[in-house]
């Protein structure tokens, strides 16, 4: 598929998703309680088949899903994305037993997943994580470990039903000493607490007090968990860009309507050259971001060797662009855009976090430079 255009079936699907997001999912989102998992919203995503589609999607389908949902309901987009981020390690590296136990529940919207990588001292530098996995205490065949330490800034914590947890099984080995574990939320010794954030979805801290895990809980291979994390992020980083493009597109549409209808200085705002040029810049950057996201998704789906660089570029450019576009939209709308409940007030709060999570802008630049010089 040419990355510069979508075929009629894809365009029709995106239009349907926008309508579903606005008409069915947004009312559920508005009934949710900030800082808590909106389980009716997650269940609706399951009933609509969107979670199942997300679990089996290629990168381009995932991007189209996230962009279209973000345009109509950012909360629905985020709920879907967090289900994907938390469960994709199970998709790519889980055993048959792990997949059979959890993936049908995720797809149906009955189980909430979480991706537990960040720590108080290891956010952007994921290879520096320090959650200890000390050998011992196996309940079954094969080796066992006791997890001790803390995770922080974990989306869906402490309300998720299971966590993909990355722990250090070999001290001093950097990225090569990390193992991924699937840890159910009811495992003894695992507790959590919410963190009050700008985000409407839950974000929290997890405390591990000698939480027992065994070989049956390992995702992939021992000491190969960093690869599981990076494979997940390589898929989801372009789709973070797609989320950003969806928000930028919604802000741009609102701005086109507002500047065509609002009069000032004897005519509509759109007739002022400074306004028209600003809107043209917003549209051009949004389209450039969209194309970069689609190109990164196509590279992932085709197995291209430069996926890390393209994923980082897409995430970097699209999230920075969305920040610019939403900010410009607020400026052109004036004070009304900052009124509680206005679309742009909502987008203004939502658009900031994607420049930080799943690798901050600065980390993406470091990845790009490393790939270029490598």
Listing DSSP states for 338-360 in one string gives: GSTT-HHHHHHHHSSGGGTTTS-
Is the pLDDT at 60 greater than 70? The verdict is yes
Query: Which residue, among 314, 310, 301, 299, has the nearest Cα to 58 in the 3D structure?
Result: 301
Predicted confidence band of residue 5 (pLDDT cuts 50, 70, 90): confident
Predicted local confidence at residue 2, as pLDDT: 52
Q: Tokens 């576009």 label which residue?
A: 325
Instruction: Tell me the C-alpha distance between 343 and 340, whole Å.
Output: 9
Span 268-296, mean pLDDT?
Answer: 97
- What radius of gyration, in Å, describes the C-alpha atoms of the chain? 21
What average pLDDT does the structure give for the chain?
94
**Cis peptide, bond prior to residue 81, ω within 30 of zero:** no
Q: For 84-98, what is each residue's pLDDT tens digit? A: 999 999 999 999 999
CA-nearest of 214, 230, 212, 206 to 93 is: 230
Q: How confident is the model at residue 138 (pLDDT cuts 50, 70, 90)?
A: low
Mean pLDDT value across residues 301-323: 96
The tokens of 64 are what?
Answer: 């189209």
Active-site residue list: 358
Higher-scoring residue by pLDDT: 34, 17: 17
At residue 129, the 3 state secondary structure works out as: coil
The burial class, CB within 10 Å (0-12 / 13-18 / 19+), for 227 is middle
Q: Both tokens of residue 221?
A: 């291979």
Which residue spans within the chain are E strands per DSSP? Answer: 113-116, 132-135, 144-155, 162-168, 178-184, 190-194, 203-214, 218-219, 263-264, 267-268
* Total-model pTM: 0.93
- pLDDT of residue 297 exceeding 70, the answer is yes
Cα separation values, 330 from 110, 208, 229, 252, 326, Å: 37, 43, 36, 10, 6
Structure confidence at residue 203 as a pLDDT band (50, 70, 90): very high
Confidence of residue 3 (pLDDT cuts 50, 70, 90): low
Residue corresponding to tokens 């591990």: 208
The band of 199, judged by pLDDT with boundaries at 50, 70 and 90, is: confident
Check residue 1 and give its pLDDT: 47
pLDDT band for position 126 (cuts 50, 70, 90): low
Q: Which domains does the chain have, with CATH numbers?
A: 8-107 (1.10.540.10), 113-222 (2.40.110.10), 227-373 (1.20.140.10)
CA distance linking residue 44 with residue 162, whole number of Å: 20
Kindly report the backbone phi and psi dihedral angles of residue 65, in degrees, each rounded to the nearest multiple of 5, phi listed first: -60, -50
* Average pLDDT, integer, range 70-89: 96
Q: How many CB atoms lie within 10 A of CB 320?
A: 18
Q: Which helix (DSSP H) or strand (DSSP E) does residue 373 occupy? A: helix 361-373
* SS3 of the chain: helix, strand, coil, percent, to 5: 60, 15, 25
Q: Which helix (H) or strand (E) segment is 230 a member of? A: helix 225-261
pLDDT band at 125, cuts 50/70/90?
A: confident
Q: 321-355, pLDDT tens digit by residue?
A: 999 999 999 999 999 999 999 999 999 999 999 99
Q: Are 255 and 261 in contact (CB under 8 A)?
A: no
Q: What pLDDT score was predicted for residue 201?
A: 86
Tokens representing 162 are 């299971």
Of the candidates 63, 54, 80, the one whose C-alpha atom is nearest the C-alpha of residue 242 is 63
Query: Which DSSP state fits 266?
Result: T
């Amino acid at each position: 598929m040419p990355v510069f255009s979508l075929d009629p079936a894809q365009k029709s699907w995106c239009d349907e998703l926008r309508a579903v997001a606005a008409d069915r999912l947004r009312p559920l989102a508005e009934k949710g309680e900030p800082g808590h998992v909106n389980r009716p919203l997650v269940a609706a995503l399951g009933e609509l088949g969107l979670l199942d589609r997300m679990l089996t999607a290629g990168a381009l389908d995932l991007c189209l899903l996230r962009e279209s949902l973000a345009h109509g309901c950012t909360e629905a987009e985020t709920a879907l994305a967090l289900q994907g981020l938390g469960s994709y390690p199970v998709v790519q590296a889980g055993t048959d037993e792990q997949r059979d136990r959890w993936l049908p529940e995720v797809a149906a919207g009955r189980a909430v997943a979480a991706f537990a990588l960040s720590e108080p001292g290891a956010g952007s530098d994921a290879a520096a994580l320090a959650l200890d996995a000390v050998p011992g205490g196996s309940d079954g065949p094969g080796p066992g470990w006791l997890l001790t330490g803390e995770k922080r800034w974990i989306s869906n914590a402490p309300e998720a039903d299971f966590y993909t947890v990355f722990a250090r099984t070999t001290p001093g080995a950097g990225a090569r000493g990390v193992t991924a574990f699937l840890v159910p939320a009811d495992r003894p010794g695992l507790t959590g607490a919410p963190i009050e954030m700008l985000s409407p979805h839950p974000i929290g801290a997890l405390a591990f007090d000698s939480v027992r895990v065994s070989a049956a809980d390992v995702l992939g291979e021992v000491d190969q968990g960093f690869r599981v994390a990076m494979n997940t992020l390589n898929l989801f980083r372009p789709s973070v860009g797609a989320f950003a493009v969806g928000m930028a597109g919604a802000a741009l549409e609102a701005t086109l309507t507002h500047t065509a209808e609002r009069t000032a200085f004897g005519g509509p705002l759109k007739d002022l050259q400074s306004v028209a040029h600003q809107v043209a810049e917003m549209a051009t950057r949004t389209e450039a971001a969209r194309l970069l996201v689609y190109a990164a998704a196509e590279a992932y789906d085709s197995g291209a060797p430069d996926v890390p660089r393209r994923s980082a570029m897409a995430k970097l450019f699209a999230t920075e662009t969305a920040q610019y576009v939403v900010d410009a939209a607020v400026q052109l709308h004036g004070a009304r855009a900052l009124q509680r409940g206005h679309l742009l007030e909502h987008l203004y709060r939502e658009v900031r976090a994607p420049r930080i999570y799943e690798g901050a802008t600065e980390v993406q630049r470091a990845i790009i430079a490393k790939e270029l010089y490598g």
